Structure 1
Amino acid sequence: MDMTWKKAKAIGSGRGLLRASGESGMSRALLRRWVCFASLLGLCACWRESGGLKISGRIEMDKVHIGSKVGGRVWKVNYDEGEATSAGAVIVALEREEIEAELAGAQAQAAQARAQLDLLLAGTRAEDLRRAEAAVQARQSELDLRRKGFRAEEIREAEAQLVSAKSAFDLARRELERAEALIQTGAIDQQQLDSRRTTFETTRAAVEVSEQRAQLMRSGSRPEEIAMAAAQLAQAQAELERLRNGPRPEEIAAARAALDAAQAGVAGARTRLAETEILAPADARVETLDLQPGDLVKAGQPVAALYLERQPYVRCYLPENRLGFTRPGMRVSVTVDSFPGESFPGIVRRISSEAEFTPRNVQTTEKRSELVFEMKVDLVNSGNRLRAGMYADVLIMPQP
């Protein structure tokens, strides 16, 4: 056996190290440092045994840290450390009332945007068109009236009303004068005098109104009134034309964009609501979970660590000069100290494409013998008896 092989064997065997250290007089403290150094670097023991190759490594399992993208207050914790979970199980639930209200508001906005779009797509209702047509006719009649002025019959009627108002006023004036004379002699009381004075004031106001109306009938509408009537007619006609043409394509596009934005708000609120339930991504076992109802958690903060219930694997390091002993897909045997005399079947998953040195800063040609390749070996049919962190030996037998 060459010197390199002996060194590799010495590194992997604890008893060999003890013997070597005893013979060389190495102190126990120095020996402990050497063993820790070898373990941390991952250079596992490797030697031939019964024509095969044995490599030491450690068992590992896939571990995930789960949390929520939204923060909040813990409402319920459904699992304890060490318990098994199934895929999709709710590990921790956060309070959701605030986000539920946010979702309801977003849904209301989406419904409003949908109704607005449907209204534009449906076009103008028949009753709206009839109302706009009637408004145009009324404005047209008013403008025609302003332009033509009043009829002769209306003018004569207004003048006749003025004459009648003046006659009533003259009568009321004479009655008031007579009442003022009689009050001096005591023939009438104060109440009768007040009644005649009220009649006088009423008839005088009626004369003023009648004079204004008659004057309006004689002169007709002012130019400003005609212009205002024409503007009101144009506005009514424009509204009727708008209703007949229906909504513009730009208005429909804007309504669609508003609906899309509202629906996006609903989707975002639903996503945030779903984040209030922290789920197991796959079948797993809870490793660490230190929460109680009422605790506050931050957004993006891991709240639990889970070991996935997938087949464990051994991470070990294959020396460069033993690279030809194995290949991906090759079947191997694995033993652990916890189950002496029992081996577990394994399959080489991968061998790293890039080598690394142990230690990394190689200074001499002799140190190249410590060039290694990382190798992962999947453990099959282990029956959930193996745990992460166990030390394991991988036995690779020569293939025929």
Structure 2
Amino acid sequence: MNKKIIAGGVIVVAIAAAGLFWLTGKNDGDKNVLTLHGNVDIRQVSLAFEDNGRISSLAVEEGDRVRAGQLLATLDTRALKIQEQQAQAQLDAQTQTVREQQAGARPEELVQAKAQLLSAQAQLQKANEDVSRIQHISANTAGKGVSRQELDMARSNLRIAQASVTERQANLALMQKGVRSEQRVASAAQVRATQAQLALLQYHLSQAELRSPVDAVVRARLQEPGDMTGPQKAVYTLALSKPKWVRVWLNESDLGRVKSGMAARVVTDSFPNKPVSGKVGFISSVAEFTPKSVQTEELRTNLVYEVRIVVDDPNDVLRMGQPATVTLNTQTEKASDVGQ
């Protein structure tokens, strides 16, 4: 019984040692070579429409390569186009009003207003003469030559003629001065408001097209034509072609051997004879517990440091989450830093 317990304990210790050896690296007999194991990591972009609407078309499938600016999806824009036409017609009408106010009255309109004033002045002169004539007759005949009614009618016509002349003079003055400055300012403000409304509608129309922001590979197609979508619902998930890195974990005892900018060699099980070059791009300044992928309790209590190996993958052989083996030659350190 004791032998079984001892044997079981030896196996557990061996498994724990093997896990720690896998996690923190090995040197394959060369003290200057540090071997680490991890997984490929790639940045992703979730693409969604800015506005709510119904998806009209989707142009790419999962696995397709897309270029920056490529059209990926569109929304139904029939209602927006009708609103755009309405705003454009309103803007045309308001712009024409402003032009008329700036141009003022036409020469023909001024000639007409002057002629109407002359006509009113002639009517006033006639009314004056009629009143003078009737008053003269009334005075010479002791009020018997004309009736009181005729005299009142003549005086009434005179007042009407005077008012008509005043009206025509004011109308001519208004036409010569043009509209009030406050009215011009108000009309110009209406034009600007309609222009802003039209620009907003045109912006919404442009946002009804979903385009790729970068060169990438379509990782997931999450919706289909006819679906209702919005800003909170991603349509596509894109995996960026660059940058790529391998995330590995470094034991504290090896922390002093690894520097930013150090050259690295990355291989995968799929292409063991085709290594990919890389550099140490990031070394965490904070220790953390061993990742959950290591299941033994002994290893989960170890503190390790995250290291990112930025790789140059022109042939695009590395895939997200793919296991990879990283080899570092600690004898040939390079002090140059690389960005992430």
Per-residue CA deviations over 1:314-354 (Å, capped at 9, x if unaligned) read 223445554443444332111223322442101233344x4
1:292-303 alignment, distance < 5 Å:
292-303=224-235
Q: Single out whichever of 317-326 and 307-316 deviates more from structure 2.
A: 317-326
Partner amino acid for 1:23? Answer: V
Query: Separation in 2 of the partners of 1:248 and 1:330?
Result: 76
Mark the CA change 1:371 to 1:99 in structure 2 (over 3 Å): closer, same or farther: same
Of structures 1 and 2, the larger Rg is shown by 1
Of the three residues 94, 98, 109, the one matched with 1:128 is: 109
Mark the CA change 1:21 to 1:124 in structure 2 (over 3 Å): closer, same or farther: farther
Mark the CA change 1:368 to 1:111 in structure 2 (over 3 Å): closer, same or farther: same
Per-residue CA deviations over 1:136-170 (Å, capped at 9, x if unaligned) read 333334444445535759x99xxxxxxxxxxxxxx
1:270-349 alignment, distance < 5 Å:
270-319=202-251, 322-349=254-281
Shift, 1:305, TM fit: 1.0
1:206-285 alignment, distance < 5 Å:
217-222=150-155, 229-285=161-217
Query: Separation in 2 of the partners of 1:24 and 1:245?
Result: 105
Partner amino acid for 1:244? Answer: Q
1:122-161 alignment, distance < 5 Å:
122-149=103-130, 152=133
- Is the contact made by 2:131 and 2:155 (CA closer than 8 Å) also made in structure 1? no
Partner amino acid for 2:199? Answer: A
Calculate the TM-score normalised by the size of structure 2.
Answer: 0.74
Shift, 1:231, TM fit: 4.4
Shift, 1:309, TM fit: 2.6
Structure 2 residue 291 is matched with structure 1 residue 350? no
Q: Single out whichever of 374-383 and 89-98 deviates more from structure 2.
A: 374-383
Which residue number corresponds to residue 389 of structure 1?
321
2:115 is paired with a residue whose SS is: helix
Which residue number corresponds to residue 95 of structure 1?
76
Partner amino acid for 2:288? Answer: F
- Is the contact made by 1:333 and 1:343 (CA closer than 8 Å) also made in structure 2? yes
Partner amino acid for 1:100? Answer: K
Shift, 1:26, TM fit: 7.4
Structure 2 residue ranges without an equivalent (≥5): 1-6, 138-145, 292-299, 334-340
- Is the contact made by 2:77 and 2:205 (CA closer than 8 Å) also made in structure 1? yes
Matched-pair identity in %: 25
1:312 is paired with a residue whose SS is: strand
Of the three residues 51, 54, 76, the one matched with 2:57 is: 76
1:124 is paired with a residue whose SS is: coil
Shift, 1:216, TM fit: 5.3
Per-residue CA deviations over 1:8-27 (Å, capped at 9, x if unaligned) read xxxxxxxxxxxx98615479
Mark the CA change 1:129 to 1:381 in structure 2 (over 3 Å): closer, same or farther: same
Structure 1 residue ranges without an equivalent (≥5): 1-19, 157-212, 361-366
Higher helix share: 1
Calculate the TM-score normalised by the size of structure 1.
Answer: 0.64
Of the three residues 36, 40, 54, the one matched with 1:59 is: 40
Shift, 1:98, TM fit: 1.3
Shift, 1:64, TM fit: 0.9
Query: Separation in 1 of the partners of 2:172 and 2:227?
Result: 63
Q: CA RMSD in A?
A: 3.7
Of the three residues 106, 109, 120, the one matched with 2:90 is: 109
1:162-177 alignment, distance < 5 Å:
none
Which residue number corresponds to residue 10 of structure 2?
23
Task: Give the number of equivalent residue pairs.
Answer: 305
Structure 2 residue 32 is matched with structure 1 residue 45? no
2:80 is paired with a residue whose SS is: helix
- Is the contact made by 2:245 and 2:309 (CA closer than 8 Å) also made in structure 1? yes
1:61 is paired with a residue whose SS is: strand
Which residue number corresponds to residue 208 of structure 1?
none
Query: Separation in 2 of the partners of 1:232 and 1:47?
Result: 110
2:39 is paired with a residue whose SS is: strand
Mark the CA change 1:27 to 1:146 in structure 2 (over 3 Å): closer, same or farther: farther
1:190-209 alignment, distance < 5 Å:
none
Query: Separation in 2 of the partners of 1:227 and 1:151?
Result: 14
